[in-house]
Homo-oligomer: A and B are copies of this chain.
Amino acid sequence: MLMKYRLFTPGPTSVPEATLLELAKPVRHHRTGEFRSMFKEVQTLLQYVYQTTSTVYTITGSGTAAAEAGIINTIAPGQKVLNVSNGKFAERWAQVCKTYGIDVKELKLEYGQHATADQIAQELKSTHYDAVILVHSETSTATTCDLEAIGKAVRASGDTLLIVDGITSIGAMPFKMDQWGVDVAITGSQKALMLPPGLAFVALSDRAWAAVEKNKARQDFYLDLKKYKKSLVDGDTPYTPANTLIEALRVSLKMVKEETIETVWKRTHTVAESFRQGMKALGFELFSNQPADSVSAIRYPQGIVDKEFRGLLKSKHNIHIAGGQGTMEGQIFRVNHMGYTDAYDALAVVAAIEHVMKALGKPIQFGAGVAAAQQTLSVLF
């Protein structure tokens, strides 16, 4: 029986029809004035989304490529980094540091917990770090943190750089690169930017560029940001870019600009909050003590088997959500709210979860979660 495919993983996320149509257009060459002028417009739009006057560089690759570029270009082997580690992605950035001989100290937190500005200020008081690496929205645990306060604390400490993984925050949650003192800001195309996977982005503050210039210890090639900076003088990328994705990105980012970034933040927040209220009304618990608006992580109640729950959602409802990663597997499920997602998308997932819980023999009242979600959504109408 026809049941439309509904994608609610925290990346890839749904792509707007207008963007898909752009992707269906014939391929053009990228070493042309047309490409450069289009690419320039994309950069301006990216600066708007990042809330920065710094250049946002486009890397053809995944978010990991952009994060690696952001870290290894600014931090030399042997330099000292504080990595706030509260999830699978934070752990990955520690691995990147170790791979390159960067001296990484991990500020370990339980999964689902977040670091406060005070904790970070304390760490920076006791030791000098060349950089703090922080995940603004930890996708694996659906946890955010007070980036504005942390940014203030890091700047107050002196010359320590603040490197932020904004992969599931930029374009979804309030993020103000310049105002909040972020030195390196990273994101990917398949999250809030409403594009398929394939592009990643990194912007560096002047302080970060100064660090890049001083970093002579190691030469990289594909991820050498100096090459990106140099090529951009002529409006180009150093290597063949995924140019049809960039053309499509323009369409998605123009939609963001038209909706305004503040409205996108508000929508994402309202949709996320309605989902959380729906889940709470059904007796579920959030996994995080500081839930991100981009993605929700919900604890499975006793007796609910992840594979069965998500299996039913997929097989009976054609709704694709994510499970937990690593040790969180089987403990939580995760639902996206970023990007091309609206109020009725959120309601569909809540209603489907009611059906699945009922099918699993749980005493669910149809509409109970939906009603709570509607209550939250009603501020929109």
A27 near B: Cβ within 8 Å? Answer: no
Contact among B3, B4, B267 for A2, CB-based, below 8 A? B267
Q: Is the CB of A366 within 8 A of B371?
A: yes
Q: How many residues of A contact B (CB 8 A)?
A: 43
What is the predominant secondary structure among interface residues of chain A facing chain B? helix
A368 vs B255: C-alpha distance in the bound complex, in angstroms? 34
Please give the distance in Å from A188's CB to the nearest CB on chain B: 20
Instruction: Give the number of times this chain occurs in the complex, counting copies.
Output: 2
- A352 neighbours in B (Cβ, 8 Å): 344
A358 near B: Cβ within 8 Å? Answer: yes
- A375 neighbours in B (Cβ, 8 Å): 366
- A6 neighbours in B (Cβ, 8 Å): 344
Q: Which of A290-344 contact B (CB under 8 A)?
A: 312, 316-317, 340, 342-344
Please give the distance in Å from A263's CB to the nearest CB on chain B: 5
Contact among B24, B259, B371 for A367, CB-based, below 8 A? B371
Q: Is the CB of B381 within 8 A of A317?
A: yes
A359 near B: Cβ within 8 Å? Answer: yes
Q: Is the CB of A2 within 8 A of B340?
A: yes
If A1-B263, A344-B6 touch, does A371 touch B374 (CB 8 Å cutoff)? no
- A358 neighbours in B (Cβ, 8 Å): 378
A344 vs B346: C-alpha distance in the bound complex, in angstroms? 11
Q: Is the CB of B370 within 8 A of A1?
A: no
Q: Is the CB of A342 within 8 A of B259?
A: no
Q: Is the CB of B348 within 8 A of A374?
A: no
The proximity string for A residues 259-292 relative to B, scoring 1 for CB distances below 8 Å and 0 otherwise, is: 1000110110000000000000000000000000
